[in-house]
Amino acid sequence: MDLILILTFCIFLATLYAIKRKSSFVNCPPGPQPWPVIGHFHLLKPPLYRSLSQLSKQYGPVFSLWLGKRFIVVVSSANLAQECFTTNDITFASKPQLAVGKYLGYDYTSVVWAPYGAHWRNVRKIQVLELLSSKKIEMFACIRQEQVSALLQSLVEASNREKVVNMKDRITETIFSIIVKIVANKSYYGCAVQDLKEAKEFREAIEETFLLTGKVNFGDYIPFLKWVDLQGITRLLRALGRKRDRIMQQIVDEHRKLRSSENDNLKPDFVHMLLAMQENDPDYFTDDFN
C-alpha cells in the first residue's frame, strides 16, 4: 500500500513538472516530444550534423530540443544564424555553465567561459590589444615568418626523401608553435624543442583539453548524474586542471625570474605583458586573474 502511494505521488510530481515546463516554453520554437529525464538525446545519433539536418527538415530552420534539463534552440539557417551572432550577439554571448568551464575555465572566469559582463569585456579587451591589434601583429610577424619557414623547410626535406607527409598534422603543429611562441616564447613543437619532457607534457595537456572539451558529459544535462560522475569525465577534468595549472605556473615563474634578473635581451611575449600589467595594478591583476 505504501509503495502504491509513493509511486502515485512520484507520477503526480512528474506530471506536474511536465505541465509546468510545457507552459513555461509555450512560445518557443517547435520540436519533437521529449522523453522523460533524457529529453531528446535519443534523437542525436552520429554524425550529429545529419541528425540535426533531418530534424530541421521536419520542424523548420529554427527548432527546439531538450538535452536532459537543458533547453536549447537549433538554428540551421545561415541568415538567421547571422541575425543571432551579429545583430543579437550580446544576447547570445554567454556560455552554458558546463563542467569543462568550471575545471578548465577557472570557475567560468576565462574569456571562453565567462558570462558576458564587465570581467569578460576586460579580459577580451586585453587579448585584443595585446595579441590582435595591428601593432602586436606587426611585432610578432617575425615569429610567424620563422615558423612558416621551418614548416616549408621540413616539407622540402621530406620531399627530397620521398617521405609521405600528413599536412593536417604539420599545419596544426605550426599553428600551435606560433601561438606558444607568441604567448610564452617557448618551443614545444617542431624541431626546435629544447626541453623534451616539458614539451611532451604541454602537448599532452593540449590534446587532453581538446579530447575532454569535445566529450558530452551527461552530468551537465542530467543533474543526478553530475554527482555520480558515471563517465568519469569530472575526475579527468580535475586532474587535467591541476596539470595545466602546474604547467602555467612553471611558465609564469620562469618569466618572473627573467624579469627580476633585468635581462636586456628580454623578448616581449604575452606572459611578460600580463606580468607588466600586474606590476602596474596588482590589486586587479592578481595571480588568480584569468
Q: Which tens digits make up the pLDDT trace of 176-196?
A: 999 999 999 998 987 777 778
- Whole-structure pTM value: 0.84
Mean pLDDT score of the chain, rounded to an integer?
Answer: 88
Q: Is the dihedral of CA 275, 277, 279, 283 positive or negative?
A: negative
* Cis amide bond preceding 34, omega within 30: no
- What average pLDDT score do residues 144-162 get? 92
User: Would you tell me the crossing angle of helices 167-184 and 141-160 to the nearest 10 degrees?
Assistant: 150
pLDDT at position 22, please?
A: 54
Confidence check: pLDDT of 14 > 80: no
Confidence check: pLDDT of 289 > 60: no
Evaluate whether 233 touches 99 at the Cβ level (below 8 Å): yes
Confidence check: pLDDT of 216 > 90: yes
**How far apart (Å, rounded) are the C-alpha atoms in residues 157 and 168?**
17
At residue 285 the predicted structure's pLDDT band, cuts being 50, 70 and 90, is confident
**DSSP states of 222-258:** SHHHHHHTTTSHHHHHHHHHHHHHHHHHHHHHHHHHH
Evaluate whether 237 touches 104 at the Cβ level (below 8 Å): yes
- What average pLDDT score do residues 68-89 get? 92
39 forms beta bridges with 35, 67
Terminal C-alpha separation, the chain: 57
For the chain, the structural domain boundaries read: 29-92, 140-193
**How far apart (Å, rounded) are the C-alpha atoms in residues 171 and 104?**
25
**How far apart (Å, rounded) are the C-alpha atoms in residues 289 and 186?**
22
Percent of the chain past pLDDT 90, that is, above it, reads: 69
